[in-house]
């Protein structure tokens, strides 16, 4: 279902004309209202009037997470406090939280973007949505909630946690759509199994999963264990929250970016240069319509590539590929670069292993080493020690062969690694301790 056909299927030239108009207005707005931007623009000798079109975007300065932190809590806001109707915050793993605000119109636009996203997932007003993203300062819960209501679907605001109760509600209410992190969906399915409930027999038909990186192999695993179509949703609080981009169920191949609200670029993270469609680099987003905290060229640190070819679903909005990882999550093990999602693919595809794993990085002298702890499946666990050792060797061999890194694999008992109700903690970095 296309929620907003006028924007979602606009010819690309019309879309670019709209983006140009909105970009010019944005630059004027931030120059007039945000001292941070006025200073940056002045330093670079840029005046809002200099901007001719989208081709000048590359001349504008970047904004980084650190800029938001330096202006904590409300220093980047472009409107006065009386126009703010909502505050969210993202804790992040390091440093001070980043705080974002929304005007009434921002909240409305967010709801509409999320309604579009749900429409892309094939959700309609007939559906019952089990929303297990956390409600609170995190944008996941309320973001999905407003979108579901905008679409006219019924939303069950379960939030995260109370996993057994969630399973019971899924069974009793018969939700047709589930929204949560991909890792939590597997925890739910595992808990259901312990309670004697087979997820595949529930009426659930689609899952809207995001907020953390996951691999294509993980998608297949989730689809077979949960008996639904698993789709990827992307967003970040600095820019809005969930609903910045969403995969359509028709193609299930890349996430459509809400380009009338968000101007996307891919840059080389080292040089800052723009890269053409198809090349992998860092996603940079300019918010075209946000009022409370508009951002120019925000560096997301997320790595992906863009695809502007037409999609089978009829939408003209460009697609971004599944996020490969964050530039700050990339591991460099003895000179070889590797992303956690690449390791995940190998683990998930190995028979006998569960999708629950943790990567432990240690430093001995000047050398970094990687240890993978992964849970084995229940039936394998009772196998002979020798077989388990063979399995460990097999994983190590595959990782060396496919990714070129040496890693130590340690199989652990089922259900021993910590489960998360939100974003999974995959990396334990012991180097910083
Ligand atoms: O995670 C917003 C969100 C909520 C998205 C619910 C999707 C669903 P933050 O807490 O600010 O916001 O974290 C944003 O999470 O920069 C990515 O690194 C990561 N991320 C979000 N979605 C995906 C995804 C929310 N689909 C950060 N795949 C982003 C990979 C994702 N990583």
Decide whether any atom of ligand 1 lies within 6 Å of the 236 Cβ.
Answer: yes
The token duo for 265 is 């670029």
User: How far is Cα 243 from Cα 319, in angstroms, rounded to an integer?
Assistant: 13
Residues 271 and 373 in one domain: no
Quick check: is 52 in a domain?
no
Answer yes or no: are the C-beta atoms of 373 and 357 closer than 8 Å: yes
Q: Which residues pair with 86 in a beta bridge?
A: 102
The token duo for 36 is 């941070």
In 3-state terms, what secondary structure has residue 325?
A: strand
Q: Ligand 1 centroid vs 103 CA: distance in angstroms?
A: 22
Identify the CA nearest to 295 among candidates 329, 264, 257, 255. 264
Q: Which residues pair with 97 in a beta bridge?
A: none
Q: Which residue has the higher pLDDT, 314 or 364?
A: 314
Q: Which residues pair with 262 in a beta bridge?
A: 287
Residues 322 and 395 in one domain: no
359 phi/psi in degrees, rounded to 5: -110, 125
Q: Residue 302: in which H helix or E strand, if any?
A: strand 298-304
Give the percent of the chain with pLDDT over 70. Answer: 99
Closest atom of ligand 1 to 133 CA is 6
- Strand locations in 224-297, DSSP E? 229-236, 241-247, 255-257, 262-267, 281-287
Residues 199 and 288 in one domain: yes
Residues 303 and 349 in one domain: no
Residues 347 and 279 in one domain: no
| Mean predicted confidence (pLDDT) in 337-364 | 94
Quick check: is 78 in a domain?
no
Residues 235 and 348 in one domain: no
How many structural domains does the chain have?
2
| Mean predicted confidence (pLDDT) in 81-99 | 86
| Mean predicted confidence (pLDDT) in 98-116 | 98
Residues 235 and 100 in one domain: yes
The domain spanning residue 405 has which CATH number? 3.30.300.30
Q: Ligand 1 centroid vs 210 CA: distance in angstroms?
A: 6
In 3-state terms, what secondary structure has residue 210?
A: strand
Residues 207 and 163 in one domain: yes
Instruction: Give residue-wise pLDDT tens across range 311-344.
Output: 999 999 999 999 999 988 888 888 899 999 999 9
Instruction: Give residue-wise pLDDT tens across range 199-233.
Output: 999 999 999 999 999 999 999 999 999 999 999 99
Residues 289 and 424 in one domain: no
Sheet holding 319-320, edge to edge: 154-156, 128-131, 177-180, 206-210, 229-236, 241-247, 255-257, 319-320, 306-307
39 phi/psi in degrees, rounded to 5: -65, -45
Decide whether any atom of ligand 1 lies within 6 Å of the 287 Cβ.
Answer: no
Q: Give the per-residue pLDDT at 253.
A: 96
Residues 113 and 203 in one domain: yes
Buried/exposed code over 159-197 (b: 16+ C-beta within 10 A; e: otherwise): bbeebeebbebbbeeebbbbbbbbbbbbbbbbbbeeeeb
User: Which of 327, 359, 394 is at the close of a domain?
Assistant: 327
- The residue range of the domain holding 375 is 336-429
Quick check: is 50 in a domain?
no
Residues 319 and 365 in one domain: no
Residues 200 and 173 in one domain: yes
């Amino acid at each position: 279902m296309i929620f907003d056909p006028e924007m979602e299927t606009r010819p690309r030239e019309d879309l670019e004309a709209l983006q140009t108009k909105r970009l010019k207005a944005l630059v004027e707005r931030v120059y007039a209202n945000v001292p941070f931007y006025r200073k940056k623009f002045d330093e670079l000798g840029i005046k809002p009037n200099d901007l001719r079109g989208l081709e000048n975007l590359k001349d504008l300065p970047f904004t980084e997470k650190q800029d938001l932190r330096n202006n904590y809590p409300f220093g980047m806001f472009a409107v006065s406090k009386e126009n703010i109707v909502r505050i969210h915050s993202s804790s992040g793993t390091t440093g001070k939280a980043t705080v974002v605000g929304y005007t009434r119109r921002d909240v409305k636009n967010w709801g509409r973007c999320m309604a579009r996203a749900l429409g892309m997932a094939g959700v309609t007003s007939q559906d019952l949505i089990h929303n297990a993203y956390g409600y609170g300062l995190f944008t996941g819960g309320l973001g999905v909630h407003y979108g579901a209501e905008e679409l006219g679907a019924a939303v069950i605001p379960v939030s995260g946690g109370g996993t057994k109760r969630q399973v019971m509600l899924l069974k009793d209410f018969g939700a047709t759509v589930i929204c949560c992190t991909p890792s939590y969906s597997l925890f739910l399915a595992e808990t259901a199994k312990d309670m004697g409930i087979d997820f595949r027999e529930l009426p659930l038909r689609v899952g809207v999963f995001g907020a953390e990186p996951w691999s294509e192999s993980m998608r297949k695993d989730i689809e077979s264990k949960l008996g639904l179509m698993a789709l990827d949703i992307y967003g970040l609080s600095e820019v809005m929250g969930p609903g910045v981009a969403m995969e359509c169920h028709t193609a299930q191949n890349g996430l459509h970016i809400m380009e009338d609200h968000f101007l996307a670029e891919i840059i080389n993270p080292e040089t800052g240069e723009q890269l053409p469609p198809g090349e992998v680099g860092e996603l940079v987003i300019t918010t075209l319509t946000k009022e409370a905290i508009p951002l120019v060229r925000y560096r997301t640190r997320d790595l992906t590539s863009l695809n502007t070819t037409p999609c089978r679903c009829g939408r003209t909005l460009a697609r971004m590929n599944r996020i490969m990882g964050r530039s700050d999550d990339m591991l460099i093990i003895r000179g070889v670069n590797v992303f956690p999602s690449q390791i995940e693919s190998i683990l998930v595809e190995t028979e006998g292993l569960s999708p629950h794993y943790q990567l432990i990085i240690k430093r001995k002298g000047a050398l970094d080493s990687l240890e993978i702890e992964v849970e084995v499946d229940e039936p394998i666990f009772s196998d002979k020690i020798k077989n388990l050792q063979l399995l460990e060797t097999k994983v190590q061999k595959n990782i060396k062969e496919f990714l070129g890194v040496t890693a130590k694999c340690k199989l652990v008992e089922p259900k021993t690694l910590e489960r998360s109700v939100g974003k999974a903690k995959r990396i334990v970095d012991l180097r910083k301790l």
